[in-house]
Amino acid sequence: MTHNQPPKEFLTSYNPSTNEVLGNLPISSNEQITQAVALAHQAAKAWKAAPIGDRVRRIKAAYAQIKPYAQELSELLSKEMGKDIRRARGEIEGGIFTGAYHADSAQKALANKSLGHGTELHYKALGVVAVISPWNYPVMMANNLIVPALVAGNSVILKPSEETPLIAQAFFQHLKTHLPDGVFDIVYGDGQAGETLVDSDVQLIAFTGSQAVGKRIMAKAAGNLKRLVMELGGNDAMIVMADADIEQAAGFAVASSFENAGQMCTSTERIYVDQSIAQDFEQRVVEIARQYQVGPWDQANVNIGPIINAKQHQKILSHIQDAKNKGARILLGHCEYEAPYIQPTVVADLTPDMAMSKEETFGPVVAIGRYENIDQAITQANDSNYGLGACVFGHKGVEEVALQLEAGMIGINQGPGGSGDAPWVGAKQSGFGFHGSAEGHRQFAQTVVLGK
């Protein structure tokens, strides 16, 4: 199905389930982006001069104003991104909650600190922060970067993904309306708009997206040594040890692989199972995967929504076909799904030469390999230039195995990521910097050592 293309000065948003046009937004010109950055610098002067407590109160009040619109925002997110209404509501309500939560935690992290003997740490605003956010969690992933940047006294320019501009406009326009003019602004467009923003007079670029685009941003930022916070995806590995609870491990494997139709940076992409339990594990995975239902956001009992666009849909199919060509067994599903959906798919006999092993598949596919000894499993799990999340299911020696994995977030008998104010952090080429936590909030400020 082809789209009737509007004039190139407009960004068109489509419902991925129906291909229906949801709306158009004017693409921000280079001049408009440059002007927005200039206005942001002007606004930052008064914003950073205000007491941090005043900034936090303004931010929290702005988020509170969004609450009455939660249902309509959830429906728009579902229509534009494709996730079911329950998950969309969770993201919208979570975004409102974390706006206030991050504001409070950033205020604590950025408070002046005495080191004793007349030495203090102060945290000063950097200037203007560019936030370039993804389509798979268009509110939450942007939120995690926008709020601490504002609390630190910076102005912020958001460039949302061209796949989900309407929900970004609807949600963050509320925020913009309740903050001083110029302190927060939004620009729209594709990669060209992002490049213009990166090239502009910003002091920090906070980007969440693909590894390839992240590398281009890093190269562009080098000229002026602009600061970077980058989350560049993952190819998360899961190890299932011989003494693991098969029911628990299989349930997690399916849920993590299928969450958000697999379009999640910490989705489980590669599973390595001790050969002594592999057959039982694979059988249980297939039984659980069969229970998942595929369909549009407003269909009852849907677990898996559409794939965001035709290009991504084709990539997933190519990964399944590549695995089959290289000897994989397809235990559930096949290689020829019609867009925009991918039915629950389970692939066994994963090997290192398959595309699924090397790249993010980013679709609802459970990919399973086997190992003979735990050292082999660790080697396979670490055989990736990504290192966002990982997990290990088992009991005896499980922590020792977990600590040998090369990832920023590792779960033992659970998914990656910690509780409370733990940072969201990757290793290797999954990026650098943090989302959340005191360390993450301080990235948005210049640390000053004051001796007196």
Q: Which residues are catalytic?
A: 231, 265
CA–CA–CA angle 71, 73, 76 (5° rounding): 115
How big is the chain, counted in residues? 452
Burial 13-45 (b: 16+ CB within 10 A, else e): bbbbbeeeebeebebbeeebbbebbebbeebbe
Question: If you write DSSP's letter for every residue of 146-169 in order, what string do you get?
Answer: HHHHHHTT-EEEEE--TTSHHHHH
By the 8 A CB rule, do 435 and 105 touch?
no
By the 8 A CB rule, do 189 and 24 touch?
no
Q: At 375, which amino acid appears?
A: D
393 DSSP β-pair partners: 240
C-alpha span between 133 and 126 (Å, rounded): 20
Pairing assessment for the beta strands 329-332 and 345-348 based on DSSP bridges:
antiparallel
Give the list of residues 6+ apart from residue 243 with CB closer than 8 angstroms, or none. 394, 395, 396
Closest residue by Cα to residue 98 from 421, 444, 426, 440: 421
Closest residue by Cα to residue 434 from 446, 447, 421: 421
Peptide bond into 423 cis (omega under 30): no
Q: What is the largest CA-CA distance in the chain?
A: 70
Q: For 450, left (φ over 0), alpha (ψ -120 to 50), or beta?
A: beta
Listed in sequence order, the DSSP H helices in 307-350 are 310-325
- The residue with tokens 């369909």 is 295
Give the list of residues 6+ apart from residue 387 with CB closer than 8 angstroms, or none. 234, 406, 407, 408, 426, 427, 428, 429, 430
Q: At 37, which amino acid appears?
A: V
